[in-house]
Amino acid sequence: MNTPVKSTTSPAGLANLGPWAQLKAGRLPERLLRLMLGLWLYGLAIALMIRGGLGASPWDVFHLGLAQHAPISFGLVMVVTAVGVLLAWIPLRQMPGLGTVANTLLLGPFADMNLALLATPDHLALRTGYMLGGVLVCALATALYVGAQLGPGPRDGLMTGLARRTGWSIRRVRTVIEVAVLAVGVLLGGTVGVGTVVFALGVGPATQFFLRYLVVRLDAPTPAALSGDA
């Protein structure tokens, strides 16, 4: 009988394992599928919010603002930002993993891909649907790939790392981060709107809700797996 991982976890039950232990913790094919599906859905959520034209998410207000000051694409701005956020993991002792690398390298291209497929709707009702759908899809996507326990993306690793270190809920930590990033994005010239406010206040509770059902319960790491992280 498999024993759940007993290592340090966040309030949502996310284990803080090293890269090798993450791969050895069981149910790997399922977890890889959850990771890739979650990243693609996150790219769709970003595109829905931007094409809705009612205000991007706080992180994307930052990305859009930064893109105005750099001669690179929106997706590349996301990649560069992700690398920078990884530096904040050092004092949190947050463990990276395959999911961290995949998020850093793939989320920007997935966002660009979905932006190319979607156009801004003409009617306000459809734009509102894009905005609300973007918030819910983002929360679902986050729960899928973070819950796969292959290492969160840079931005969500900041969220889960702070939750683990402070004991705060995912909802509280995520909301604080989103509001702080929004303020910086506004200073950079990013566009805000009602969708930005809805996202900043709503994505934390929605993510916490989905995490209840989508966190993969891992097998206990063996001594060999743990030694592989040394």
Structural domains in the chain (count)? 1
Highest mean pLDDT among 32-36, 164-168, 197-201: 32-36
| 230 located within any domain | no
Structural domain including 175 reads: 32-215
189: nearest Cα among 65, 77, 64, 70: 65
User: Residue 100 pLDDT > 80, yes or no?
Assistant: yes
Are 135 and 199 in contact by the 8 Å Cβ rule? The answer is yes
Cα 167 to Cα 142: distance, rounded to the nearest angstrom = 20
pTM (2 d.p.): 0.80
| 58 located within any domain | yes
| 225 located within any domain | no
| 3 located within any domain | no
**pLDDT mean over 177-182:** 84
User: Residue 21 pLDDT > 80, yes or no?
Assistant: no
Cα 86 to Cα 177: distance, rounded to the nearest angstrom = 15
DSSP state letter for 222: P
Residue 57's pLDDT band, with cuts at 50, 70 and 90, is confident
| 17 located within any domain | no
Q: Is 49 helix (H, G, I), strand (E, B) or coil?
A: helix
User: Residue 229 pLDDT > 50, yes or no?
Assistant: no
